[in-house]
């Protein structure tokens, strides 16, 4: 943070892949982090997927972030490297979004904001949601990684002994936010007990 009054800006992008709950939970969990200000871009497909997967209507999703941007607004503040952020989490990340990011195709705000994070050497984490993979997917993940992104498929961590599906979601989201040095109490650590001791 730049000073005591300025919050750290964190970008959360939600695309239309299955698993919109990851982006939704990231926004919900970050509400409990008073030092973080969330800036979100939600694709039209994400709103549709949310209706099918989590019974959440668009207005409920729009109310989650501190600041919400139109996915087509490439003149938004997130399009400029001079607008300081901690980085960007794309959760979930579709193949199309991965492709646009890997090939610097910044025609809409999500890939543009991602490209800004990469060029400014800020953290970009892609919770890629596709399986099984063909060679084209793997090549795109390699190129995105070479550009500086972290590709992090939301793989369940069974060592955390999840009791519910939401436990698994929270663990994956928490591990993704760990990559931004945002540490949430929802994450179970390897060899640590429930109270956080080892």
pTM of the complete model beyond 0.75 = yes
Q: Quick: pLDDT tens for 66-111.
A: 999 999 999 999 999 999 999 999 999 999 999 999 999 999 999 9
The token pair at 109 is 């705000």
Q: Quick: pLDDT tens for 9-48.
A: 999 999 999 999 999 999 999 999 999 999 999 999 999 9
Q: Is the pLDDT of residue 194 over 60?
A: no
Predicted local confidence at residue 87, as pLDDT: 98
Q: Is the pLDDT of residue 132 over 90?
A: yes
The token pair at 94 is 């579709």
Predicted local confidence at residue 2, as pLDDT: 43
CA 67 to each of CA 12, 17, 42, 48, 121: distance values in angstroms, whole numbers, following the listed order: 10, 22, 11, 20, 23
Alpha-carbon distance 95 to 141, whole Å? 10
Indicate the DSSP class of residue 63.
T
Helix/strand/coil for 67: strand
Query: Hey, what long-range contacts does 181-186 have (CB within 8 A, 24 or more apart)?
Result: 182/10, 182/30, 182/33, 182/36, 182/86, 184/29, 184/32, 184/33, 186/29
Q: Is the pLDDT of residue 56 over 60?
A: yes
128: which strand partners? 93
**Chain mean pLDDT for the chain:** 93
- The CATH fold assigned to 8-178 is Rossmann fold (3.40.50)
């Amino acid at each position: 943070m730049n000073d005591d009054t300025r919050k750290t800006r964190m970008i959360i992008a939600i695309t239309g892949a299955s698993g919109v709950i990851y982006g939704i939970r990231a926004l919900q969990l970050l509400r409990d982090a008073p030092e973080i200000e969330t800036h979100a871009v939600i694709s039209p497909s994400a709103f549709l997927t949310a209706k099918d997967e989590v019974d959440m209507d668009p207005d409920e999703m729009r109310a989650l972030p501190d600041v919400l941007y139109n996915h087509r607004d490439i003149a938004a503040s997130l399009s400029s490297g001079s607008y300081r952020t901690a980085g960007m989490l794309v959760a979930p990340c579709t193949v199309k979004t991965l492709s646009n990011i890997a090939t610097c195709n910044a025609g809409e705000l999500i890939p543009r904001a991602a490209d800004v994070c990469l060029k400014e050497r800020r953290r970009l984490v892609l919770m890629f949601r596709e399986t099984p993979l063909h060679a084209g997917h793997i090549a795109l993940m390699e190129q995105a990684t070479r550009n500086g992104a972290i590709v992090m498929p939301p793989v369940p961590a069974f060592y955390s002994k999840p009791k519910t599906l939401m436990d698994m979601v929270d663990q994956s989201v928490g591990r993704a936010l760990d990559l931004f040095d945002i540490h949430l109490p929802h994450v179970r650590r390897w060899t640590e007990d429930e109270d956080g001791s080892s």
